[in-house]
Amino acid sequence: MELAKDSIADPEILENGFLTDSFVHADDALHYIPMNLHENMTPFFYHGYVSVIQSILKIFLRNPTGPSELSPVPSVEVVLKHFAEIDEEAKKGEDEAPMAVIQSDYIHSYTDVGGKVQYALEAIIELARETSPKGRRYIDNPEVQEQNADFEKAADEEGLPKCENDLNFEIVRTKLGLPAQSAGPQWFFLTDFDSDSDSYAETEIVGDSEDDESEEAVYEGTKYEESKEEPAEESDSNPEGENTGRPSEEEKDEDETNIEHDKKSESE
């Protein structure tokens, strides 16, 4: 839930009012929004997306025995009901409920142009999976492994219960109203292709330049394809004047004629 804790800073904005690709690239949570919504990627859209993530966190922190009848499990249905609560509160106006008015405006700037709760849930779950023992970031990054070890130690010290489904992200997804299998990030920038899992994964350039061959990389909108070079066909003909180190057909005929002539001379 680190995504929801981050302060809403003014993002990079193009002259036409849209977010720059570099800004989208830098925020992993935005990679789970379909690329066909790129034309709606404005600061208001972004703030609305962050508000959705913050709403999910607020639902998590709800007291299940509190006044709200909503479940503390942020399924798609529960989050939408939470939005309805915010809209109802916003009707009181800026004087009585200024924060509700602002949050309602932001959320609608996201949902009214095609943004969905599912995209935020997808980002939260998949980014959590990536930093879990099942994720590539965990496998590739010792720092993430250390953070997980510290968390496990703290959980044990506090006596938090463990569940055999703690890393069963498929169950988490279905319980929250998402398909069991993730479609993965929708945006690809600098990536490498994992041939073992048939999937793309983020990577960093190693070396001083992009020409360094220590990482194979593809760029946004491209698909990795192994180049299969076919061996060049051998030609029977030699280019004129090329020295191959082998006798030509004419030289072979001339040598055979000379041998026959020598044999005939010896017999005489």
Q: Write down the pLDDT at residue 99.
A: 93
Q: Minimal CA–CA distance to 124: which of 72, 219, 49, 216? A: 49
The pLDDT of residue 5 is above 50: no
Cβ atoms of 41 and 19 closer than 8 Å = yes
Highest mean pLDDT of the ranges 7-11, 64-68, 69-73, 171-175: 171-175
The pLDDT of residue 18 is above 60: yes
Report residue 109's pLDDT band, with 50, 70 and 90 as the boundaries: very high
Report residue 175's pLDDT band, with 50, 70 and 90 as the boundaries: very high
Domain range list for the chain:
2-132+167-175, 188-227
pTM above 0.75, yes or no: no
Q: How many CB atoms lie within 10 A of CB 177?
A: 16
- Give Cβ neighbours of residue 13 (< 8 Å, ≥ 6 apart): 19, 20, 43
* Alpha-carbon separation of residue 193 from 119, 196, 199, 202, 205 (angstroms): 23, 9, 6, 9, 14
pLDDT tens, residue by residue, 126-162: 999 998 888 888 888 889 899 889 988 998 888 888 8
* Alpha-carbon separation of residue 134 from 16, 31, 226 (angstroms): 41, 20, 27
